[in-house]
Structure 1
Amino acid sequence: MADRKEKTFRFVIVGGGIAGVTCVEQLSSQIPSADLALITAGPHIKAVTNYKQVSKTLEEFDVEEQPSSVLEEKFPNLTVIHSAVKSLDTQSHSLETTDGRVFGYEKLCICGGGRPKLLTQDNPYVLGIRDTDSAQEFQKRLSKAKRIIVVGNGGIALELVYEVDGCEVIWAVKDKAIGNTFFDAGAAQFLIPSLEADKPERAALCKRTRYTTEEPAPGGSQTFTADRNARRQGTGPTEAGSALGPDWHEGIVLRGAEQGTRRVSLEYQCEVEQIFTSEELLKSPQQTLRPENVGSWPVYVQLTNGKTFGCDFVVSATGVVPNTEPFLHGNNFALADDGGLQVDDHMMTSEPDVYAAGDVCTACWEHSPMWQQMRLWTQARQMGWYTGRCMAAHVLSEPIELDFCFELFSHITKFFNYKVVLLGKFNGQGLGLDYELLIRCTKGQEYVKVVLSGGRMVGAVLIGDTDLEETFENLILNQMDLTRYGEELLNPNIDIEDYFD
């Protein structure tokens, strides 16, 4: 492969998602003269916009799809190569793309992201939601649907179940409570009433057109369009688009075929046992499986709790697996238990001159006691940014320290129209039984949970407009002994900030 190199770049970044694009931006600003290539399968890249540093570690931003030409205009040293990667040869420092071209690199960063863990690979009635194309497909199918089954308990499942209107939703959750990646059963109970209530009216206009590849219509009305010519041919596992941004559902109408509002029924502690078409079910020897009205739905799902439901289609929202596929063959990457490329505290993999960032990698350095990796937007941006700094520092022979963002886990998001802030070991991760909880809950307004260990705050969940995030972030970072405050710590009549500023 080495002797067919079309061109050798100083830096090559693979993947046009948040991690890859942030890495490109960071490298270009640090070494503006370096020859840089971004290899990405789709015509669009994901860019961070409206970035706001909320506190020391908390950040908020929007994710916007942009044509890759926007990046090339910004950085004259950058070449964008539109193709997926077919193979990597770390010995000869070269990559082959699916269109048969070969490029060399001095330093490589793999930002291949994650791909959906689908319930089943080739069932036309099972839809995974991961990128913009699949969100468009979902919207199209939903408009004709009367009932869907959503399987999964992560961020996309939570958002989707809340956003869908005019369609019955059966939500199968493998845990005892919803959203257990993000919060505990108490917070889940706080949020559940929002599924039954009518949603607050949305402002008619979203602050920007989100997933469109055409010009917005005159008068600023919003359409959800897909430029069909720009869609890639073939969507094999290596050619998935970049993941959806936070608020991906804003500005798209998620409406089913039924009149009236949504109806959500929850099935807890169960997974999918089997998926049948109505023909298969009619032929099924297990007569017990047959729901009364067999044949009236195109697809049936049997759950491990013994119940079988018919529906128009199934949404698989069961998380992602690191998309390492095209990079492993013929190379010696150390992989973590979760399938990610192992990286050290300089974001380097086990192969020389190869770095990785975002969902494709697993942080294998000794973590700060208050940090854990979760495959989220904020971490993809932080890792991409830090990896760009590490690559530049190595080339310039400069020392580099582990970035401060890895001191404390922090994340801001929105679920069921509430602001949600997660800090530190917000679910007592890794603490065994050695922690206590303080909780304050005002129905329909706020839910505040603090995790204390040895009298010191180690984590918090804040739902609603609590304005406590900065104070709590400081208390976790400075590890002050809070024993003498006891329950008073969450007394709403005490302005806690006055204590600790």
Structure 2
Amino acid sequence: MPEPKRILIVGAGLAGASAAATLRENGYDGEVTVLGAEAHRPYELPPLSKKILLGEADEPDWVRGEGFWAAHEADLRSGTSATRIDLGARVVSDGRGGRHSYDRLLLATGSHPRALPVPGTDIPGVYALRTLDDALALRAAFAGSPRVVVVGTGWIGTEAAAAARHHGADVTLVDMLPGPLWSLGPQISGVFADLHSEHGVQWRLGSGIERVTGGPGGVAGVRLADGTELPADVVLIAVGAAPRVGLAHAAGLELADEGGLTVDATLRTSAPDVYAAGDIAAQWHPRYGRRIRVEHWANAKNQGTHVAANLLGGSEPYERSPYFFTDQYDLGCEYRGIADPSTDELVVRGDLGKREFIAFWLRDGRVQAAMNVNMWDDGDALQSLVDGDVTVTVDQLREGDLAALG
């Protein structure tokens, strides 16, 4: 397969920017064009809900230094949204009237915050958190110790709640689910519930939202389905994200039942010479023998880096297991793998009450996922256990030498 002369990347987030940077750093000297909707140069998302919301930083972690793109002759078009893909002509149109031909195309359009389908979410004082501008606006809103209602108790919701408490705000977390981070199962959810309660967060769990109240002057509160009114000066909607697949769908690319854009193990889509990476990629994963879609930072970075070689004609499958991390108050943790807490056996090494432990999810004697909380010495061993095809026992995980098991 001949090396392409023109590579076009739609999406200037971590996946797309990592691919572009890797192409140049590995010596590719053809044309590289990156279309990005945001005015900012490419950056990483995790600091938005962590350092920036906390006030510990005013800038995110940039994908590369400010002069990198010009120095490496990568044509970064910030503030430029793709509007149409013509697969037959191999041309992408943008919102400024530009037309971009390609030999290989990478779609890395990321995700957008899911909307809450109730009245009032357009009232001033209602926020979402996805971009740098979102994070700076929300941090400013937290100033002055306002009353904050966070709708959604996933990673963004709980991290934002911790940041709001750091700024002295009164915080209430609301969700239909029985506890925060419920996807980890009730025991681990309980650890995070206790953590936030100890820091003064109030809960309204198992409850739906009827509407956000207020008017042109600003938000007044949140009305629950049972009629309870929660007063609020700031409301954050954090009910998950949805992959941006409209552009791909309109072009006729195959979408996955799991959500996202169907790609094979090499991140190639259903169309010739078109690839996808990051949040939108619903990949057939060789390690799991099924299609998965991962929205976390490490996946975007690693898939972007990996796909660069395949854009040049390679055919290597992407085989990394998912990874993410969180920092909330004095709790830090890392999670590796994919578990099903509803069926997998939870094995705990350490002390849940002290919030110093490793949680393993075990299926048929093999570790599906591992989560280390405030314990940092066994990261490599945990990765080996998640990635390795080794059989272990509950006692070995609780008391054994983890490095020797993998």
Short-chain TM bin: 0.7 to 0.9
CA offsets per residue over residues 309-352 of structure 1, 9 Å max, x none? 121131111111111234433x2111123541211112122222
Seen in structure 2, the aligned counterparts of structure 1 residues 142 and 477 have a Cα distance that, compared at 3 Å, is closer
TM-score, reference length from structure 2 = 0.84
Question: Structure 2 residue aligned with 1:34, among 19, 30, 47?
Answer: 30
**Residue 122 of structure 1: aligned partner:** 122
Distance 1:417 1:173 in 2: 23
The question of 1:489 aligning with 2:397 is answered yes
Q: CA deviation at 1:360?
A: 2.3
The equivalent residue for 1:274 is: 211
Cα deviation, residue 34, structure 1:
0.9
1:458–1:324 distance in 2 versus 1, CA, 3 Å: closer
Aligned to 2:366: 456
- Tell me by how many angstroms 1:145 deviates: 5.7
Q: Is the 8 A contact 1:89 1:95 kept in 2?
A: yes
Q: TM-score, normalised by structure 1?
A: 0.69
**Structure 1: runs of 5+ lacking an equivalent:** 1-7, 50-61, 199-262, 280-294
2:203 and 2:11 map into 1 onto residues whose CA distance is 36
**Residue 500, structure 1, aligned to residue 401, structure 2:** no
Residue 381, structure 1, aligned to residue 301, structure 2: yes
| Greater relative contact order (Cα < 8 A, sep 6+) | 1
| Aligned equivalent of 1:244 | none
Partner of 1:469: 379
Does 2:193 match 1:192? yes
Letter in 1 for 2:156: I
1:72 partner amino acid: W
Do the aligned partners of 1:370 and 1:424 also contact (CA within 8 Å) in 2? Answer: no
Aligned residues, how many? 383
| Structure 1 residue 481, shift from structure 2 partner | 2.7
Distance 2:71 2:288 in 1: 36
Where do 5+ consecutive residues of structure 2 fail to align? 46-58
% same residue: 21
Q: Contact conserved, 2:112 with 2:130, CA < 8 A, in 1?
A: yes
1:163 aligns with 2:78: no
2:317 to 391, 402, 410: 402
Separation in 1 of the partners of 2:375 and 2:310? 37
- RMSD over equivalenced CA pairs, Å: 3.0
Paired residue for 2:338?
425
- Structure 1 residue 31 displacement after superposition: 4.5
Q: Secondary structure at the match of 2:187?
A: helix
> CA–CA distance in 1 between the matches of 2:220 and 2:258?
31
- Equivalent-residue separation in structure 2 for 1:67 and 1:46 (angstroms): 8
Residue 463 to residue 498, structure 1, CA distance change in 2 (3 Å): closer
Secondary structure at the residue paired with 1:64? coil
CA distance in 2, matches of 1:67, 1:460: 31
Structure 1 residue 112: Cα displacement? 0.9
Q: 1:354–1:123: structure 2 CA closer, same or farther, 3 Å change rule? A: farther
Shift of residue 423 of structure 1? 2.4
The equivalent position to 1:317 in structure 2, one of 238, 249, 253, is 238
| Cα distance, 1:92 vs structure 2 | 1.1
- Give the C-alpha shift of residue 114 in structure 1: 0.6
Give the Å deviation of 1:102: 1.3
Matches within 5 A, 1:44-59: 44-47=40-43
1:266-288 CA-to-partner distances (Å, cap 9, x unmatched) read 11122322223379xxxxxxxxx
Contact 1:111–1:358 (CA<8 Å) still a contact in 2? yes
Give 1 or 2 for the bigger CA radius of gyration. 1
What corresponds to 2:49 in structure 1?
none
Q: How far apart are residue 418 of structure 1 and its match?
A: 2.2
Q: Secondary structure at the match of 2:136?
A: helix
Is it true that 1:16 corresponds to 2:12 in the alignment?
yes
Q: Report how far residue 420 of structure 1 moved.
A: 1.1
State the distance in 2 between where 1:450 and 1:327 align.
37
Taking the TM superposition and a 5 Å limit, the aligned residue runs for 1:290-369 are 298-329=219-250, 331-365=251-285, 368=288
Mapped contact 1:13–1:110 kept (Cα < 8 A): yes
The answer to whether structure 1 residue 479 and structure 2 residue 386 are counterparts is no
> Matches of 1:48 and 1:118 in 2, distance apart?
23
Tell me, in whole angstroms, the C-alpha distance in 2 between the residues paired with 1:109 and 1:351.
11
Residue 66 to residue 334, structure 1, CA distance change in 2 (3 Å): closer
Are the structure 2 counterparts of residues 270 and 379 from structure 1 closer, same or farther at C-alpha, using a change threshold of 3 Å?
same
Matching of residues 180-259 of structure 1 within 5 Å: 180-181=182-183, 183-197=184-198
1:75 & 1:318 partners in 2: Cα distance? 39
